[in-house]
Structure 1
Amino acid sequence: MDKSWMHADRRSRKFQLGLAEFLKFASANASNERKIRCPCLKCCNTDGFSIGVIKDHIFWNGIDESYKNWRWHGAPSTSYMNSRMQGESETVNWEPASGVGKNDVDIGGSEDEEISEDSNEFLKYVEDGDKPLYPGCTKTTKLNGLIQTFNLKAKHGMTDACYSDMLIMNGGLLPEANEVPASLYEAEKTLSQLGMEYEKIHACPNDCILYRQQHVDAIICPTCGVSRWKLGKAKTEKEGILAKVLWYFPLIPRLKRLYQSANTSKNLTWHDHGRKKDGMMRHPADSLTWDLIDKTWPEFGNEPRNLRLALSSDGFNPHSSLSSRYSCWPVILVTYNLPSWLCMKRKYMMLTLLISGPKQPGNDIDVYLQPLIDDLKLL
């Protein structure tokens, strides 16, 4: 007990010194001392207050551990931040009443730290993507140019080899030191850091099960007995060629991306602090259903950053042929937290599942919703 108390006291002093250093630095670099961004876990550098208010916020809410480079407070470089923040990562969430033991010194494997590393990697690629496409270019950036070429690839069904050749050709036509990726691999690597990865989940052609979890290694569906692999003309199995595939676009990384934007994270609480509350129906937050959820689960309703998601799904024919009955089903999530003029915008609609055809899933759609439901339960 004595050692634990001494350890906690030492961490407390280090935290206080680090906090004093930060407040002094933020005050010295502030253009308006009444509007300094607050790095507490509630504000996350989106709202501005005086030094005294920020100190109280950090005491009560804790500090954002992922904020290691004081870029919102005038830090000139990452190296400066590293020299100032030695030891603070172990102390920012210290609570006097919680009790600190010997094993609390190293929190290197914590979940928060994993999120922090992911966020830093994401920001690195965003900063890299904001570079001009070539020196002196003012019309577009590396990231915008990359997205435009990927859209072209999808629109015209361009093969991977053709796309790679197009990148090489574009790189040769543009001035030297341009930022065009040299290959499809480099282009996909950049986009994957933006949270655009996906999972291919094998499915039973009769919509019985997904080959995941306890069925991940199964070859035959335990419900209907149909093979996992596609059958040829002679009813022979084509091993390695799947009979049916579900495309899943993981939800959690995309929600994290929403909160990495200061403007978007502020808009995600608009339903609570920006909406006119006069009894008129202007937004889903004005509905009886929204109010019922708040009353049934008050702990959820009292936190405006909790997300309210709407799920929508319908079939469409991807082959642009009226003679084909092929039906492909996307599952889309809409974030109702956003203002009414934003929540139905295409950029905020998240495609989470793509259920391949040739027939609609019908009542078996719950089978395909399993990975999405698992992520929602985790959240």
Structure 2
Amino acid sequence: MDKGWMFLADRWCDEYRNGLEKFLTMAKQHKGDKPKIRCPCRKCRNVKYYSVHVVKSHLLYKGMDSTYTYWKFHGETLPNENSNAHSCCDNEHEINANNAEVNDDEMQEILEDIYWGTFNEEELNGGSNKEVSFRKEDELEKFDRLFKDAKRALYPGCKKYSILLFVVKLLHLKVLNRWSNKSFTMLLQLLKDSYPDDNLLPSSYYDSRKLLGGIGLRCDLIHACKNDCILFRKEYEGLDHCPKCLQSRWKINDGKGKKVPQKILRYFPLKPRLQRLFMSRKIASYMRWHKEKRVEEIGVLSHPADGESWKEFDKKFPWFAEDARNVRLALSSDGFNPFNNMCNSYSMWPVVLINYNMPPWVSKREPYFFLSLLIPGRRSPGKDIDVFLQPLIDELLELFKGVRTYDSVAEQCFLLHAALMWTINDFPAYGDLSGWVTKGKMACPCCNDKTDYQSLRNKIGYLGHRRFLPDNHVWRNDGKKFNGKVERRLKPRELSGEEILKQLKVVEGVTLGKNPNTKKGSAVLKKETGLRRAYFTNYRIGKIFH
């Protein structure tokens, strides 16, 4: 059957309409008693089923998917190897649609999931103009190239790998084995020379990443002040100098060449990554696990959903708990030396988000960790980590209000909400993230102003642990083994969130940044006229989380 009509730009000409009628006639004969057929238009791409009438309108208004040259879903039989059609496929490096290797790797299925969740929200909502549409022409063109690359053979005659599948596997090996960009480029050049001359293998790491550009998970590069005072974004985006320490935004280059920023924060947006989870039909089912499949045992803490904070949050925000797809996150951060050389004092701080909707054996796997921020060194950000957390906090506030997301399991769009509920860190990092002073006499955030301490020469010892024991415990009366005193006190009262916020409100005058021209000093506390301070505080800064 002649397929030249599907590539015509004028879809209202007689040639296109005649070819379309022949195609639909074949599809009707193939479907039998089924009411719907797959729609092969360039938007649906054989993912969705519609009536023949709707498919016809889609093909007229949107056009046929140009990569769908073997109509296996609509009744075309596999062409003979000696036929002209098969020769045409060979010339275009097309892979047989029944190739088992490609199906095993599910490359086509993954692309279809992402495509449908990204570009078809208007159809899913009945074509309402009020709904927010994800459709962008430039992104659509990139995605069209991805579909074509998923069907183009690595070289003529190769039936095992498409160019897209091969590059994805190579990049995966690069990550697993920590290959450098240079070594990866050298490997590509060797493979390109080894394969037939007309192979489609990219020649560099840059070209390989460019090949995957249509997937859409980007990284934002945000310039930062050398002294961690500000990020050059929003109202500071157009400045060349920091308004606080007056340091230049750029490294000195004597006016030659491209301007190089002093420091760059790498930010990986959270919204598209959460939306991508629901676009996958396999992963989307995990996002409901905590409510639909988790077996709750009384007195057993097997998942954060069994904890007090989860249940208290559900009581405070019942609308959030109604939909099991709403995401609960934890944040973890700590410094590390990326050069694996302790002689080099360089500290880089990644900020990782963990999704607790999933079962524990899934959420703790590395592929489901979200690297959100990569804070540059060379020194630890300390209390100035708030400066770098700003883009993440802005996005979390937006996610709490809700963003439209496509659920591939329910095949509909919904309003996705997300909340940050916990932080996971060691004690020094806890001080950086919370603002609590983790040194000195009142270092315990649980005991707060009831911290029991004792000076031991130039160190401080923390006592009073027996306060947390039951009232009739034998150790409460055994002072000889401890500090020589009988312990009758009750454990310190746990403060509410409102009381902690009141402690934070008495902190002011804290300037973020490591400005060398500013004299270091502690936080200034608000004073009430004629009265002593109303609330004790050991916070040195009112943190961005609050």
Cα distance change of structure 1 residues 331 and 122 upon mapping to structure 2, 3 Å threshold: farther
Cα distance change of structure 1 residues 116 and 242 upon mapping to structure 2, 3 Å threshold: closer
Instruction: Tell me what 2:267 maps to.
Output: 248
Is 1:338 equivalent to 2:358 in the alignment? Answer: yes
Is 1:198 equivalent to 2:174 in the alignment? Answer: no
Distance 1:215 1:202 in 2: 10
* Residue correspondences, number: 303
Is the 2:174–2:184 contact (alpha carbons within 8 Å) kept by the matching residues of 1? Answer: no
- Residue identity opposite 2:34 in structure 1: A
Match of residue 34, structure 2, among 25, 28, 36: 28
Q: Which stretch of the first structure deviates more once superposed, 164-173 or 123-132? A: 123-132
Is 1:296 equivalent to 2:319 in the alignment? Answer: no
Cα shift at 1:227: 1.9
Cα distance change of structure 1 residues 308 and 255 upon mapping to structure 2, 3 Å threshold: same
Instruction: Tell me what 2:47 maps to.
Output: 71
Is the 1:195–1:254 contact (alpha carbons within 8 Å) kept by the matching residues of 2? Answer: no
Cα shift at 1:191: 2.5
> What root-mean-square deviation, in Å, do the aligned CA atoms of Structure 1 and Structure 2 show?
4.1
TM-score (norm: length of structure 2): 0.48
Cα distance change of structure 1 residues 244 and 144 upon mapping to structure 2, 3 Å threshold: same
Distance 1:307 1:174 in 2: 46
Is 1:229 equivalent to 2:250 in the alignment? Answer: yes
Is the 1:335–1:349 contact (alpha carbons within 8 Å) kept by the matching residues of 2? Answer: yes
Is the 2:167–2:208 contact (alpha carbons within 8 Å) kept by the matching residues of 1? Answer: no
TM-score (norm: length of structure 1): 0.67
Distance 1:269 1:123 in 2: 32
Distance 2:206 2:163 in 1: 19
Is the 1:69–1:75 contact (alpha carbons within 8 Å) kept by the matching residues of 2? Answer: no
Q: Which stretch of the first structure deviates more once superposed, 284-293 or 187-196? A: 187-196
Distance 1:196 1:211 in 2: 22
Cα deviation, 1:273-303, whole Å, max 9, x if unaligned, reads 1100233211111111111111111111111
Cα deviation, 1:24-64, whole Å, max 9, x if unaligned, reads x898179xxxxxxxxxxxxxxxxxxxxxxxxxxxxxxxxxx
Distance 1:75 1:169 in 2: 50
Please list, as runs of the form range in 1=range in 2, the aligned pairs for 1:121-132 lying within 5 A after superposition: 122=143, 125=146, 128-129=149-150
Instruction: Tell me what 1:366 maps to.
Output: 386
Cα deviation, 1:314-351, whole Å, max 9, x if unaligned, reads 10001111111200000111111111100010000111
Distance 2:32 2:244 in 1: 63
Distance 1:115 1:167 in 2: 32
Is the 1:69–1:81 contact (alpha carbons within 8 Å) kept by the matching residues of 2? Answer: no
Please list, as runs of the form range in 1=range in 2, the aligned pairs for 1:1-379 lying within 5 A after superposition: 28=34, 68-69=44-45, 71=47, 73=49, 82-83=58-59, 93=125, 107=129, 111-114=132-135, 122=143, 125=146, 128-129=149-150, 133-134=154-155, 135-136=157-158, 138=160, 142-149=164-171, 152=174, 155-159=178-182, 164=185, 166-175=187-196, 178-230=199-251, 240-279=259-298, 280-379=300-399
Distance 1:116 1:256 in 2: 20
Cα distance change of structure 1 residues 85 and 356 upon mapping to structure 2, 3 Å threshold: same
Cα shift at 1:194: 2.4
- Residue identity opposite 1:262 in structure 2: R
Unaligned runs of 5+ in 2: 1-30, 37-41, 63-119, 400-546
Distance 2:141 2:326 in 1: 23
- Residue identity opposite 2:376 in structure 1: S
Larger radius of gyration: 2
Q: Percent identity?
A: 33
Cα distance change of structure 1 residues 173 and 334 upon mapping to structure 2, 3 Å threshold: same
- Residue identity opposite 2:165 in structure 1: L
Cα shift at 1:258: 1.1
Distance 1:207 1:362 in 2: 10
Judging by fraction of residues, say which structure has more helix. Answer: 1
Is the 1:68–1:81 contact (alpha carbons within 8 Å) kept by the matching residues of 2? Answer: no
- Residue identity opposite 1:295 in structure 2: K
Unaligned runs of 5+ in 1: 1-24, 31-65, 95-104
Cα deviation, 1:208-240, whole Å, max 9, x if unaligned, reads 1000110011122112222222358xxx89982
Distance 2:185 2:382 in 1: 39
Q: Which stretch of the first structure deviates more once superposed, 149-158 or 307-316? A: 149-158
Distance 2:49 2:128 in 1: 28
